[in-house]
Structure 1
Amino acid sequence: MSVPDTATVLARAFHNDAMFTYIEPDEQRRAKVLPWFFGAAARLGAKYGRIDVDPGRAAAIWLPPGKTDLGPRALVGSGFAAAPLRLGIGGFRRFGSITSAFDAAKVTVIAPPFWHLFILGVEPSEQGCGHGGRVIAPVLAQADRDGHRCYLETTEESNLAFYRRRGFEVSSDHAPAGLPAFWTMTRQPG
């Protein structure tokens, strides 16, 4: 699946996600900006990590051990430098607030090396059909073989059961003032 196709599936998957409704409350504007955002995320994953897809149905973007804290150069190279223009100043500030909260939470629950499930999204009409589990299974198997832990954040409580079935456990939960609630989850190898 190409970067644009991956971006389209992920944009639809995350359209009503708490993180993105917080970043861009206007539904029509959100529908326009999310394909750009997930295109940049897919380019980042393709260059520095791994993307697994079920074409037209689901996509997972992983950052591998040793590349889970990418610097400004990686973000600029993938297209995230345009975030202030694409998201607008308010949206960019909200994006910075939530991602800063994620980063602060991450360092309290896991230390490198680990696989970071950066993004997992399933086409809304295909959710519950096993596509999400299939696209993350290859990295989970690799992490088991290599003895690496896995990590993720989610702003959707309904996702917790899905990840628990795949060996993740809640490591922390957060309800920061003015931000969406979120959970961090880790998975031990084996």
Structure 2
Amino acid sequence: MPPPVEAQVIARAFHDDPMFTFIEPAADRRRRVLPWFFRSALRLGAQRGRVDVDPGRAAVIWLPPGTSLGPGAMLRSGLALAPVRLGPASFRRFLRLTSAFERAAAPVHGTTFWHLFILGVDPADQGRGIGARLVAPVLAQADAAQQLCYLETLSERNLAFYQRLGFTVAGHVTDAGLPEFWMMTRRPRSSDAD
């Protein structure tokens, strides 16, 4: 079954992202596996969080405060197949990187936060405000509930975009053998602030 349009869109957006070029260095293999990965991630987001789309152009996946991604969630989303679909070497790199995310992030985001898990805008549509428009509803919800928002990015060029949305760099990790990444947080804005 072909992946949904949004999975293909996110796959194009992340094809050359440092996270996925690290996990799967071969471009042709990345082109084949990323639509599966993002279809599973979208399923996970729909089951455990929130997914918003601009059909055929962009999608965002948020995980709300308190979300647990245990074995059941991985199984239901299809991500439990990652060792097979990615292959042993790529899966080992995936685990190394995501483990580094978890170690570095815990002291940064605490226990109550919205995780901007994935935001992908088709390369042909980037720079048009679509991503900002898609994340705005959860940012407003987090502000109203006085909750933190958190994300990781492996692309330095993304920092300015997220800073315009109110995120600040909360950490920068440069572990040997891994791509560098930034952790960003967005403190809730008060209702009387513009």
Using the alignment, how far apart are the partners of 2:69 and 2:152 within structure 1? 17
Preserved contact between residue 44 and residue 73 of structure 2 (Cα < 8 Å): yes
In the alignment, residue 77 of structure 2 is paired with which amino acid? Answer: S
Equivalents in 1 of 2:72, 2:176: separation in Å?
31
Match of 1:112 in 2: 111
Q: Deviations over 1:142-185 (max 9, x none)?
A: 00011110000000000000000000000000111111100000
Query: Could you give the per-residue CA deviations for residues 107-137 of structure 1, whole angstroms, max 9, x where no partner exists?
Result: 0211121100000010001110101101100
Paired position in structure 1 for 2:120: 121
1:59 aligns with 2:50: no
TM-superposed deviation, 1:41: 0.3
Q: Distance in 1 between matches of 2:88 and 2:107?
A: 29
> How much does 1:72 deviate?
1.5
My pick for the range that moved more, 178-187 or 3-12, is 3-12
Partner of 2:25: 25
Q: Quote the residue 2:47 is aligned against.
A: 47
In structure 2, distance between residues paired with 1:70 and 1:33: 21
**Mapped partners of 2:73, 2:83: distance in 1:** 16
Distance 2:84 2:70 in 1: 20
TM-score normalized by structure 1? 0.97
Give the alignment of 1:55-94 within 5 angstroms.
55-67=55-67, 69-94=68-93
- Structure 2: runs of 5+ lacking an equivalent: 190-194
Post-superposition Cα deviations, 1:19-59, rounded to whole Å, max 9, x if no partner, equal: 00000000000000000000110000000000011111111
User: Which letter maps to 1:82?
Assistant: L
Equivalent pairs: percent with the same residue?
Answer: 61
Q: Mind listing any 5+ residue stretches in structure 1 that lack a counterpart?
A: none
Aligned length: 187
- Could you say which residue in structure 1 is the equivalent of 2:99? 100
C-alpha RMSD of the superposition:
0.8
Distance 1:4 1:98 in 2: 26
Runs of 4+ displaced beyond 2 Å: none
Task: Give distance in 1, aligned partners of 2:5 and 2:46.
Answer: 13
Per the TM alignment, residue 76 of structure 1 is displaced from its structure 2 partner at its CA by: 1.4
Q: Distance in 1 between matches of 2:97 and 2:50?
A: 24
**Distance in 2 (alpha carbons) for counterparts of 1:70 and 1:106:** 15
Q: Corresponding residue for 1:188?
A: 187
Tell me if structure 1 keeps the 8 A contact 2:6–2:57.
no
Instruction: Compute the TM-score of the two structures, normalised by the length of structure 2.
Output: 0.95
* 8 Å Cα contact 2:33-2:86 kept in structure 1: yes
Q: CA deviation at 1:4?
A: 1.2
- Asked if the contact 2:19–2:179 (Cα under 8 Å) also holds between the matched residues in 1, the reply is yes
Cα distance in 2 for residues equivalent to 1:27 and 1:100: 24
